[in-house]
């Protein structure tokens, strides 16, 4: 009998501040329906000056260590497209902040918004090779676009940490996967830019092409039928994209695309992304968190996962929700992470958006803004300095 391997625990974190889309609409002179209805977004998380992918990742991961300890964790994989260093993995800072053993391998993965799914699949492989170990997978990103650009309304920030091991308490990850890669320029960020570039129309088309490609490969690999899935989690650059993607999948499979059926299939998966915004690698797993936290009872049900990363790489895979999963959820903590955010006005958001760490190699403290457990205290000699509260 094959090993049962999957997500044993899951925890999320997001930024200190939140900008309602009503404030963005007022600044742009736009009808709020453009955001609430058009892209399906209500607000977006904004990071404090002393927050980044490391502090978000550590905040998401710390509750997992508190509950399970770190004795079995042999690997930490951090997936991000908001990397803070071209050489040193951001996960090494996290390793230190949350007190993991020195006998741990740490690596950073990158492929746009797909990276966390690669990390999850690599983790499953490591556990299959050595069932005694657990792997800590963290997706952490801060989504940034130029001010007054079309992508501005889809910004966000979050981290999701997952503990992967045998006999998981939440979701068992199944074989096979359907995978797809195409060389397209729909979204990218050259090394000399700190905000991303995006071709919106190209990106939607590339995403839908990937939906077809992954599903075709998934079925050819002997995967489940469409009717076997109780819910679908999609990568959500904006929540209406999940609806568009699922309609496309249904149409591709010759099924009815009735809006009621689409909404039922997506269930509660858009709730967190709708108020957090795009969190790149974490987005798909925020969808999973929202589904698990809100659905009545998914015991034994199959969930479809569609992970898409621009450029582009995508994967479709299935997971089965484990009996007793509700006893291990962190619903209250997840809701607190969202409701604790401090609302900022447009001017406050703009100041945070334009904040940059000095690049002169001097000693610079960062403003003490976050109330979270970890903060980026400053920079000295081009070295980032983190502290624990």
Active site residues: 81, 113, 235
- Distance from C-alpha of 215 to C-alpha of 63, rounded to nearest angstrom: 35
Task: Give the span between the Cα atoms of 137 and 58, in whole angstroms.
Answer: 11
The closest alpha carbon to 284, from 318, 329, 219, 237, belongs to 237
| Tokens coding 19 | 């900008």
CA distance readout (Å), 341 to 81, 303, 336: 23, 30, 9
> Rounded to 5, what percent of the chain is helix, strand, coil?
40, 25, 35
CA distance 78 to 56: 11
Q: Regarding beta strands 229-234 and 302-309, do their DSSP bridges make them parallel or antiparallel, or are they unpaired?
A: parallel
Closest CA to 239 of 40, 43, 34, 19: 40
State how far the Cα of 365 lies from the Cα of 246, in Å rounded to an integer: 46
């Amino acid at each position: 009998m094959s090993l049962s391997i999957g997500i044993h625990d899951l925890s999320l974190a997001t930024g200190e501040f939140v900008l309602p889309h009503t404030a963005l609409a007022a600044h742009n002179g736009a009808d709020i329906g453009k955001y609430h209805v058009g892209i399906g977004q209500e607000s977006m998380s904004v990071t404090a000056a002393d927050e980044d992918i490391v502090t978000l990742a550590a905040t998401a991961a710390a509750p997992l260590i508190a509950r399970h300890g770190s004795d079995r964790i042999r690997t930490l994989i951090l997936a991000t497209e908001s990397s803070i260093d071209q050489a040193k993995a951001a996960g090494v800072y996290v390793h230190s902040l949350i007190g993991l053993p020195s006998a741990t391998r740490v690596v950073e993965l990158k492929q746009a918004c797909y990276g966390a799914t690669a990390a999850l699949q690599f983790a499953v492989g490591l556990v299959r090779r050595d069932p005694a170990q657990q792997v800590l997978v963290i997706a952490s990103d801060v989504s940034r676009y130029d001010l007054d650009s079309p992508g501005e309304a889809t910004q966000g920030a979050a981290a999701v940490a997952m503990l992967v091991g045998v006999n998981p308490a939440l979701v068992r990850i199944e074989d096979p996967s359907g995978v797809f890669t195409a060389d397209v320029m729909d979204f990218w960020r050259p090394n000399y830019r700190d905000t991303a570039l995006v071709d919106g129309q190209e990106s939607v088309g590339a995403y839908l092409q990937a939906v077809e490609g992954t599903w075709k490969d998934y079925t050819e690999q002997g995967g489940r039928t469409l009717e076997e899935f109780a819910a679908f989690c999609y990568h959500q650059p904006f929540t209406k994209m999940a609806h568009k993607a699922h309609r496309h999948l249904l149409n591709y499979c010759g099924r009815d695309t009735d809006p009621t059926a689409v909404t039922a299939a997506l269930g509660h998966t858009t709730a967190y992304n709708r108020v957090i915004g795009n969190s790149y690698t974490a987005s798909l797993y925020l969808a999973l968190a929202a589904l698990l936290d809100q659905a009545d009872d998914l015991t034994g049900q199959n969930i479809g996962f569609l992970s898409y990363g621009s450029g582009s790489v995508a994967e479709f895979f299935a997971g089965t929700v484990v009996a007793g999963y509700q006893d291990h959820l962190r619903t209250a903590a997840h809701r607190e992470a969202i409701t604790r955010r401090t609302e900022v006005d447009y001017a406050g958001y703009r100041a945070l958006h334009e904040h940059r760490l000095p690049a002169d190699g001097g000693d610079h403290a960062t403003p003490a803004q976050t109330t979270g457990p970890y903060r980026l205290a400053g920079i000295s000699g081009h070295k980032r300095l983190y502290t624990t509260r």
